[in-house]
Amino acid sequence: DSLFTSFQSHADMNAYLRTLELRFPQVVKVVSIGKSYEGRDLLVIKIGSGDPNLPTIFVDAGIHAREWIAPPAALYIINQLLENPANVRLYQNVNWHIIPSLNPDGYEFSRSTTSNRLWRKTRQPNAGSTCFGADPNRNFDYYWMYAGASSAPCSDVFAGPVAFSEPETAAVAAHILENRNTIKLYLSFHSYGNMMLYPWGYTSALPENAAELQWLGEQASAAIERASTIGSQYVTGSSTNVLYEAAGGSDDWVKGVAGVSLAYTIELPAGGIFGFNPPERSILPMVQETFEGIRVFHDYIERKY
Ligand code: 0X9
Ligand code: ZN
């Protein structure tokens, strides 16, 4: 089909998840964790052998609207787990919760006209401003507004009027808290820059398990580089040290509040003139190489827990 040869609408991605639930009723459950501001369903697909107590890998994508390569990277994990029999072992001892499209209002807005292509935020109106939306990756309630975020509604890094003001971030946070005892690894797909980032984003200080985060990130990066047909080279490190200081990100909150010790933001490869626009023929090579890194994460979680 066209899942990895063209960029799909949010509705088409949701339809794919629903189809999988019908095709694989023993191993798939699709649940709505809530709705976006404009009322779109935020779906999580749960894939597993049936034991809810197994360690869980949680993946989200599409927090930032314009980062179009992120949702297909998440969809490809789903596709490979379910539609490639060689990968059945990847959900025997580990459960997966995957949300391929977490900011659907922003995403559909970025698809609506070429002039909106670089939209990043959500689409909730802001009181007292004509500018819409908040940066969902500045809206999580851990060191909210501490650094690298703006209180100006027109800024692209507007943190929101309060933490978790956006229904999308509130919904995913509630889902993660409900599952905090089983989630052992958090992965969030963004673009671009070929970076394997771990907390913290609010400070240059490193978390207590930085050595483990660094080592595992490098292992996953190396697997991606080996598989790459487009010459991808990844840099691994803490968000602040590799990129910039930016508080209120999902990864920091997942680690600092939900207590998930392993949390990464994966900045996928660039494409097109502004970096967010890989040509559609690049989707498959990009998501295929990324999946080789995901195998490394899976094998580590399976072995450790
Ligand atoms: O700035 C961001 O939100 C991410 N980069 S992006 O170009 N996709 O916008 C990086 C987030 C890293 N994590 C934290 N700062 N917590
Ligand atoms: Zn992003």
Q: By alpha-carbon position, which residue is closest to atom 3 of ligand 1?
A: 137
Annotated active-site residue 21? The verdict is no
Q: Is residue 2 part of a domain?
A: no
Q: Which ligand is nearest to the CA of 159?
A: 1
Over residues 247-273, the mean pLDDT reads 98
CATH number at residue 14: 3.40.630.10
- Residue minimizing CA distance to atom 14 of ligand 1: 201
Distance 265 CA to ligand 1 centre (A): 7
Q: Measure 9 CA to ligand 1 centroid, in angstroms.
A: 23
Minimum-distance ligand 1 atom for the alpha carbon of 148: 15
8 A C-beta contact, residue 106 and residue 119: yes
Does pLDDT of 105 surpass 90?
A: yes
* Nearest-atom index, ligand 1, CA of 197: 12
Which of these is catalytic: 166, 267, 280, 292? 267
Check pLDDT > 90 for residue 1: no
- 46 within domain boundaries: yes
Task: Specify if 21 maps to a domain.
Answer: yes
| Both tokens assigned to 243 | 């990129």
- Give the residue-averaged pLDDT of 168-173: 99
Q: Does 1 reside within a domain?
A: no
pLDDT mean over 99-123: 98
296, β-bridge pairs: none
Share of the chain above pLDDT 70, in %: 100
Mean pLDDT of 165-191: 99
Task: Tell me the per-residue pLDDT of 280-305, one tens digit each, with 9 for 90 and over.
Answer: 999 999 999 999 999 999 999 999 99
143-165 tens-digit pLDDT? 999 999 999 999 999 999 999 99
Q: Establish if 4 belongs to a structural domain.
A: no
pLDDT category of residue 50 using cuts at 50, 70 and 90: very high
Q: Check residue 111 and give its pLDDT.
A: 98
Q: Tell me how far the alpha carbon of residue 265 lies from the centroid of ligand 2, in angstroms.
A: 9
Q: Kindly give the pairing relationship between strand 195-198 and strand 28-35.
A: unpaired
Q: Is residue 294 domain-resident?
A: yes
Q: How far apart are CA 110 and CA 118, in angstroms?
A: 6
Q: Please, what is the Cα angle at 66 between 64 and 69, to 5 degrees?
A: 90
Ligand nearest to the CA of 246: 1
Say which ligand is closest to the CA of 193.
Answer: 1
Q: Is the pTM of this model over 0.95?
A: yes
ipTM over 0.95: yes
Pull the structure tokens for residue 254: 């997942």
Range 24-42 burial, b when 16+ CB lie within 10 A, else e: eeebbebeebeebbeebbb
Q: Helix-strand-coil percent breakdown of the chain, rounded to 5? A: 40, 20, 45
Residue 3 lies in a domain: no
Give the domain extent around 294: 10-304
In the structure, which protein residues have their CB atom closer than 6 angstroms to any atom of ligand 1? 64, 67, 137, 190, 197, 201, 239, 243, 246, 249, 251-252, 265, 267
Say how many domains are in the chain: 1
The answer to whether residue 25 sits within a structural domain is: yes
Q: What mean pLDDT value characterizes the chain?
A: 98
